[in-house]
């Protein structure tokens, strides 16, 4: 279990590094950075699948597509939804919206709870009801004080649940789903380079960022590898609880390295949202401790 915890935290740290990474690749555009990230990380994802010996899952996915071609359209939609999220992940820190994006990741667990209740009839626990209420107060205060709500926060908080629901509907929640998403995005990025880049531009980028561009793919692949291994080693409750480490790190990156600050009119609303996340984290901690206690008794 300790190995799983360490790997999960290290994966979150690497994702935090990737949040700052676009700054190192300036003056490349958001789309250019995004494409380089996918073009360099997809081969590493293939290596990960080989290491995990998951080619049977990929073969099953291709068999499903052959038997039901309409599935291909769903897979493309899934990859488009992930593309939006990955572009925001790059765009936000480059354009002074790192904190707004990190707030979206804080709201994500709450959004997942609400989506589970609305679309799957899942029952809210006592702590979840408190968390949802606190978050709702925070969002309402944000809208009241600023007359708006950051679009990037909303897209992250609402977009990821829609993405996960799409994967669930398509029944591609395993590594085969990650492969299909990255595969279609890889094809899109490759097409972008073919039509918008020439050989000299590629050489210039690789010459100017000869270390940073290859490392972008390597770090992405290592982060995903650690994430997958940790998910396999840890109980679901503890794995979910450790998921709160990443938005905390993204907030720290925004404050310490991107030099963003929280305007005074946002402090109260942000406070309610962060408090709601603390309530969910408390529930997760209680669940994990009880599970460990039951395991010891047995």
Output the pLDDT for position 210: 84
Kindly report, residue by residue over 1-57, the tens digit of the pLDDT: 678 888 888 999 999 999 999 999 999 999 999 999 999 988 888 887 888 788 888
Output the pLDDT for position 236: 64
Contact present, 97 and 152 (Cβ < 8 Å): yes
Give the residue, 144 or 173, on which the prediction is more confident.
Answer: 144
Output the pLDDT for position 230: 83
Q: For the chain, where are the alpha helices, taking DSSP H only?
A: 2-24, 30-52, 55-67, 71-94, 98-120, 126-146, 151-170, 175-196, 199-208, 212-233, 236-242, 245-256, 264-297
For residues 60-76, average pLDDT: 94
Select the highest-mean-pLDDT range: 143-152, 159-168, 224-233, 285-294. 159-168
| pLDDT above 90: residue 67 | yes
Output the pLDDT for position 237: 62
Of the chain, the percentage scoring pLDDT greater than 90 comes to 41
Count of CB atoms within 10 A of residue 40's CB?
19
Backbone φ, ψ for residue 129 (5° rounding): -65, -45
* Residue 241 structure tokens: 């609880």
Select the highest-mean-pLDDT range: 37-51, 62-76, 164-178. 62-76
For residues 185-200, average pLDDT: 91
Close Cβ partners of 201 (under 8 Å, ≥ 6 residues apart)? none
**CA-to-CA separations, 6 to 3, 45, 225, 238, in angstroms, rounded:** 5, 21, 13, 12
Residue 102 buriedness (CB in 10 A; 0-12 / 13-18 / 19+): buried
Kindly report, residue by residue over 121-140, the tens digit of the pLDDT: 888 888 888 988 998 898 88
CA 43 to chain centre: 20
**CA-to-CA separations, 170 to 73, 153, 165, 287, in angstroms, rounded:** 10, 26, 9, 30
Contact present, 255 and 202 (Cβ < 8 Å): no
pLDDT confidence of 227, banded at 50, 70, 90? confident
| pLDDT above 80: residue 141 | yes
Contact present, 275 and 39 (Cβ < 8 Å): no
For residues 244-251, average pLDDT: 88
Contact present, 102 and 251 (Cβ < 8 Å): yes
* Residues 212, 34: Cα–Cα separation, whole Å: 13
Mean pLDDT of the chain: 87
| pLDDT above 70: residue 297 | no
| pLDDT above 90: residue 158 | yes
Output the pLDDT for position 298: 61
């Amino acid at each position: 279990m300790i190995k799983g915890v360490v790997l999960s935290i290290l994966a979150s740290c690497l994702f935090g590094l990737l949040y700052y990474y676009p700054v190192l690749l300036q003056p490349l555009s958001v789309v250019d950075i995004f494409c380089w990230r996918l073009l360099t990380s997809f081969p590493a994802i293939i290596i990960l699948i080989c290491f995990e010996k998951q080619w049977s899952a990929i073969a099953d996915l291709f068999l499903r597509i052959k038997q039901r071609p309409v599935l291909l359209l769903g897979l493309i939609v899934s990859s488009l939804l992930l593309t939006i999220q990955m572009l925001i992940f790059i765009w936000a820190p480059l354009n002074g919206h790192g904190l707004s994006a990190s707030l979206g990741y804080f709201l994500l667990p709450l959004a997942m709870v609400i989506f589970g209740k609305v679309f799957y009839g899942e029952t809210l626990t006592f702590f979840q009801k408190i968390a949802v209420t606190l978050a709702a107060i925070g969002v309402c205060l944000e809208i009241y004080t600023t007359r708006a709500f950051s679009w990037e926060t909303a897209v992250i908080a609402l977009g990821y649940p829609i993405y996960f629901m799409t994967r669930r509907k398509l029944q591609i929640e395993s590594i085969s789903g990650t492969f299909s998403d990255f595969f279609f995005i890889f094809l899109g990025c490759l097409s972008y380079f073919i039509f918008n880049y020439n050989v000299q531009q590629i050489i210039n980028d690789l010459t100017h960022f000869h270390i940073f561009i290859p490392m972008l793919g390597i770090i992405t692949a290592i982060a995903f590898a650690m994430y997958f291994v940790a998910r396999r080693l840890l109980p679901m409750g503890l794995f979910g609880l450790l998921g709160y480490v990443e938005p905390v790190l993204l907030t720290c990156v925004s404050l310490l390295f991107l030099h963003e600050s929280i305007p005074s009119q946002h402090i109260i609303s942000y406070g309610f949202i962060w408090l709601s996340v603390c309530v969910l984290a408390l529930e997760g901690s209680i669940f994990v401790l009880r599970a460990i206690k039951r395991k010891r008794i047995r």
